[in-house]
Amino acid sequence: MKRKEVVLFMTVGTGINPDSNEAGYKKLAKKLYSTLNKIYPNYVIFFASNVSKHTIKYIDALFELDGDEFNEGEDYEIVELNNIDDFNYCFESFEAKIWEYDYLNEKKYQIIMDYTSGTKTMSAAMACCGMLYSRDLISVGGDRSKGEVSAGTEIINYQNLYKIYDKRAIMRIRYNFNTNRFQPCLDVLNYIVDMNIHKDSLVDLCKGYFAWDTMDFSHAYEHLKSIDLNYMEFAEIKNELKKNLNALGIIVNSKSQNLKNCYILACIINNAIRRAEEYKFDDAIARLYRSFELIAQIRLEKYNLMSSDIDIDLLKEKGLRQEFIDELENMREDGKIRIGLIKDYHLLNELDDELGKYFMENESKIKDLTFKRNNSILAHGLDSQSKEDFDKFLELVIGLAKKLDKDMNKFLEETRFAKFDLKLDINNA
């Protein structure tokens, strides 16, 4: 038998009714023999029932007639299937051999799977197994004018499953997108070949949200506005995408600095929530801390004040207590007075601002939260934060954000990332 480095899996049916004579076995053997001679595999694995395995002895005889040998154990083996109508049983039998001849074998073979013969269940199970493991699937076609493929007309049909693989890739992309794993989405997109899938827009989608997740608002906006929202792939997230585009457009283009800052604040809060959904609570709380600080900074801008360079003369004009002003003066370095989060809120309180008053009324609770954050491994300590720590900090930040601007719920909604509706379990594959 001529050989190449190929292992051929073949389902074997009887090809005949149980009461038929040996002619039926011989007829099927000729068809299988024809396939073997067209592929010339290095080794063959026949999957057969107790009845249908008798067909294989006639294949042996056909090789002998051609002056060749076809020896069990050397050229082929028979895997007997005891339940040919049990899909899972058949699938696992095929799968076990894929593992044996590929993953557990030092010598790697090309595995070809012929699902032409056998019961309908056997054929379906082999086709599914081959698809799942990305193996070459073949079937035998030819002249069917007499109801079945006529001897001598057999043609090997290699099944191109690219559409199925691409659809499965889209499901993986949707799942990864929903879990904020945008780079793996781009990696999967590289393998899609179906021209009917709007690959460029999907790339823009993933690059856009990746940029947004890293606070690169300009690039996020450029990518997302390049998407054609009328494409079928975006039908279920079209409305969310429009809201997201509106938010990014304001951050990038609005002339109102306060409006920009409020949308950016909402982005950071939602970013923290995404990290918490990934159980990265230290990371999430670090973002909440920045949100907490930004709230104060945004409000100070209302008074033309910057925490990175406090204007003492302006504070005097506003009639702040001299004792507080002296305290700030003692913080001057390199000609500038820079204050941190706690002092920001103290200053707002001196300005008789609502946020400053809220801070002072809840200072003990807030300092406890910030103390835990400061001892986080991502701040100045070695402690790990919990979901409970995050939830308490989130409640504080959102409460303050809503006091900062009455439209904060709108900002938070428009900066919440779009999500696909994963209706099928296979989306988790």
Q: Which stretches does DSSP call E strand in 220-368?
A: 332-333, 336-337
Amino acid at 108: K
Taking each helix axis as running N to C, give the angle between helix 387-404 and helix 257-277, from 0 to 180 degrees, rounded to the nearest 10: 160
d(CA 388, CA 394): 10
Is residue 295 within 8 A of residue 255, CB to CB? The reply is: no
Half-sphere exposure of 392 (CA within 13 A, CB side): 14
pTM score of the predicted model: 0.77
Stated as kind and residue range, the H or E segment containing 242 is helix 238-253
Pairing of strands 155-158, 136-141: antiparallel
Q: Which tokens go with 301?
A: 């801008």
The residue to which tokens 């051609």 are assigned: 66
Question: Residue 27 has what pLDDT?
Answer: 82
Question: Residue 262 has what pLDDT?
Answer: 97
Q: Which residues contact 194 (CB under 8 A, 6 or more apart)?
A: 162, 163, 166
d(CA 295, CA 346): 13
Question: Residue 374 has what pLDDT?
Answer: 62
- Map out the domains of the chain as residue ranges: 6-159, 254-415
Q: What is the mean pLDDT of each run of 10 residues along the chain (429 residues)?
A: 67 60 78 88 91 87 90 92 94 94 80 89 93 88 56 74 86 93 92 85 96 97 94 92 97 96 98 95 91 95 93 92 92 90 92 93 77 62 76 92 96 97 57
Question: Residue 245 has what pLDDT?
Answer: 97
Question: Residue 371 has what pLDDT?
Answer: 61
d(CA 11, CA 26): 16
Residue 53: Cβ within 10 Å count? 17
Is residue 152 within 8 A of residue 405, CB to CB? The reply is: no
Q: Which tokens go with 240?
A: 């969310």
Nearest to 221 by CA among 180, 160, 267: 267
Is residue 281 within 8 A of residue 384, CB to CB? The reply is: yes
6-159: CATH, from 3.40.50.10770, 3.40.630.30, 3.40.80.10, 3.30.1280.10: 3.40.50.10770
Question: Residue 345 has what pLDDT?
Answer: 93
Question: Residue 377 has what pLDDT?
Answer: 62
Nearest to 217 by CA among 275, 203, 225, 230: 225
Taking each helix axis as running N to C, give the angle between helix 87-98 and helix 120-132, from 0 to 180 degrees, rounded to the nearest 10: 40
Question: Residue 21 has what pLDDT?
Answer: 62
